[in-house]
Amino acid sequence: MAEHSSPPPRDSVEINFRTRKWVRPEDLNANGTLFGGSLLKWIDEEATIYAIVQLGNRRVVTKFMSEINFVSSAVQGDVIEMGLHATAFGTSSMTMRAEVRNMITRKSILTVDRIVFVGLNEEGQPFPHGFTEITYDRDRMPQEPLA
């Protein structure tokens, strides 16, 4: 069976990590549209997973999130796609950009230009990771349980 997909919007950035969510009644605000707090929780959770894989460390924390630009919304039953793109690696950190779009309407819902995660050691201090570029395989996925 042939795959059918629409091209991404022209203003979209290259996305390295994607996940999708189905908008349910408990995700709505009083206006009947997607609650921004739910969406930000999902972004932070997915960005954490992406940082864990990229930094090879399960001890990562959100350090900074830049201005959040809400440009449209979603309603119950819509499927949204969250995309993340790593933009920089620091000594103990990584920076990424997020974009969320409605897969039904194809409209952009939100962009966050900078989300910074820091990898920590067992004492909760920033830990140098030694990486400078994105990985597309699972080699960095931590294999040992947290102590």
78 in any annotated domain: yes
Q: Which residues is 115 bridged to in the sheet?
A: 65, 96
Q: What is the pLDDT of residue 114?
A: 97
Give the span between the Cα atoms of 59 and 61, in whole angstroms: 7
Q: What is the CATH number of the domain that holds 58?
A: 3.10.129.10
Domain total of the chain? 1
Q: What is the pLDDT of residue 135?
A: 74
Per-residue pLDDT of the chain (147 residues; tens, 9 = 90+): 444 444 444 445 566 678 999 999 999 999 999 999 999 999 999 999 999 989 999 999 999 999 999 999 999 999 999 999 999 999 999 999 999 999 999 899 999 999 999 999 999 999 999 988 887 765 677 777 666
> Which residue has 């931590």 as its token pair?
142
Instruction: Say if CB 54 and CB 86 are below 8 A apart.
Output: yes
47 in any annotated domain: yes
Q: What is the pLDDT of residue 3?
A: 42
10 in any annotated domain: no
67 in any annotated domain: yes
For 92, the domain range is 17-119
54 in any annotated domain: yes
